Amino acid sequence: MFRTRSTSSDGSAGAANAREVYGAALVELARRHPEVVALTADLMLSHQLKGFKEMHPERFINVGIAEANLMGVAAGLALDGKIPFATTFAAFASMRAHEQVRSDIAYPGLSVKIVGTMGGLSGGVAGPTHAGMEDLGTMRMMPGMTVIAPSDPLHLAQFVEQAHARRGPVYIRLGRGNDPIIYPKDQAVEIGKAITVVDGSDATIISTGVMLREALIAASRLADGGVSARVIDMHTVRPLDAEVIERAAFETGAIVTVEDHMVTNGLGSAVAECVAESGATCRIKRLGIPDVFSIIGPPADLYKHHGYDATGIEQAVSALLGV
């Protein structure tokens, strides 16, 4: 059984600010690659880009509170041979600037890297207007778009490097910060290759983003009750690792997906589509934000309220198995 490295009372291995990791990774990337440009929509401090501005002032652009313009400027820079990293809140990148992402970036297949922070309900106290509840869905619908939701903040440096090297548009979804560290520092990740964190034979839990820790806690509790639950870290929502999903469907016959996102059109929908096309006989339960605009509150309370914290996952698996 894989367990998070325990250094605190809740069993986590501590936490790290994904935005700080992102800012530092971008500075290092730009040091080696002069074509890298950073753009923000008046969120330099929030997104830890001050260091980039200080190190590479000629390659830092703040467009102000104008997210549609952020994407348009990034597209223009990409046409000029630059590789822009455009950063704003997930809700604004995926909704307010949806048309610009679609028509200016995805349609011509430009190598713009979009980083959306405060994904899901991680910024719960900011309310529904700032909650990135639909971003995985809107982004995965874009032809040619790569969609990543890292489960461990320390993986961001690797994903930033891989996004830079990948042709075409990439969307990376982050939380608000202080995300749980799950893996050892030397854990390698690869876009499009899911990680089977825990093996199991009775059911499978597939999570994306910061929900991996809740999935691992649920799997540990289930194991204590005699249920063997496989846990898969689907950090890349597109391209989806269909082989891992199909194997889980055929081998365990029961899948619970969990995501900090609307239950519609996100990870759960992608997994259900994959299983349906595989021909496997498999029961599926999708956990996430239901068909509502969420209430306001701390993220952990909201996960519990909507039933996709560790307890909700454990109950969903038990219900699927009838135990």
- Looking at the fold, whether 146 and 61 belong to one and the same domain comes out as yes
- Looking at the fold, whether 140 and 175 belong to one and the same domain comes out as yes
Q: Order across the sheet with 254-262: list the strands.
A: 195-198, 229-233, 203-207, 254-262, 283-289
Q: Which two tokens stand for residue 152?
A: 């461990």
- Looking at the fold, whether 53 and 141 belong to one and the same domain comes out as yes
The boundaries of the domain holding residue 67 are 15-180
Q: Residues near 15 by Cβ (< 8 Å), separated by ≥ 6?
A: 153, 178, 179, 180, 181
Final residue belonging to a domain, choices 180, 203, 238: 180
How far apart, in Å, are the Cα atoms of 319 and each of 229, 255, 312? 13, 11, 10
- Looking at the fold, whether 238 and 121 belong to one and the same domain comes out as no
What is the pLDDT at residue 48? 83
The separation between the first and the last C-alpha atoms of the chain, rounded to the nearest angstrom, is: 21
Backbone CA torsion sign across 207, 138, 21, 161: positive
Final residue belonging to a domain, choices 147, 180, 213: 180
Task: Compute the CA torsion angle 281, 287, 288, 289 (nearest 10 deg).
Answer: 100
Q: CA–CA separation, 218 vs 221, rounded Å? A: 5
What is the pLDDT at residue 281? 94
Residues 195 and 159 sit within 8 Å (Cβ to Cβ): no
Instruction: Compute mean pLDDT per 10 residues along the chain, 323 residues long, and list them.
Output: 38 78 94 97 85 93 95 98 97 96 98 96 89 96 97 95 98 90 93 98 97 97 98 98 98 98 97 97 97 93 97 98 92
Q: For the chain, how many helices (H) and strands (E)?
A: 12, 14
**Does a structural domain hold residue 90?**
yes
What is the pLDDT at residue 5? 38
Q: Residues near 4 by Cβ (< 8 Å), separated by ≥ 6?
A: 11, 12, 13, 180, 181, 182, 213, 216
| CATH number of the domain within which 286 lies | 3.40.50.920
Residues 173 and 267 sit within 8 Å (Cβ to Cβ): no
Domain count, the chain: 2
Q: Residues near 225 by Cβ (< 8 Å), separated by ≥ 6?
A: 323
- Looking at the fold, whether 211 and 280 belong to one and the same domain comes out as yes
What is the pLDDT at residue 119? 94
Question: Which residues are registered as beta bridge partners of 230?
Answer: 204
- Looking at the fold, whether 241 and 314 belong to one and the same domain comes out as yes
- Looking at the fold, whether 158 and 278 belong to one and the same domain comes out as no
What is the pLDDT at residue 10? 38
Q: What is the pTM of this model?
A: 0.94
What is the pLDDT at residue 13? 65
Give CA 121 to chain center in angstroms.
Answer: 12
How far apart, in Å, are the Cα atoms of 310 and each of 123, 214, 316, 322? 19, 4, 10, 18
- Looking at the fold, whether 51 and 174 belong to one and the same domain comes out as yes
- Looking at the fold, whether 147 and 250 belong to one and the same domain comes out as no
Final residue belonging to a domain, choices 145, 180, 215: 180
- Looking at the fold, whether 167 and 296 belong to one and the same domain comes out as no
Q: CA–CA separation, 199 vs 271, rounded Å? A: 18
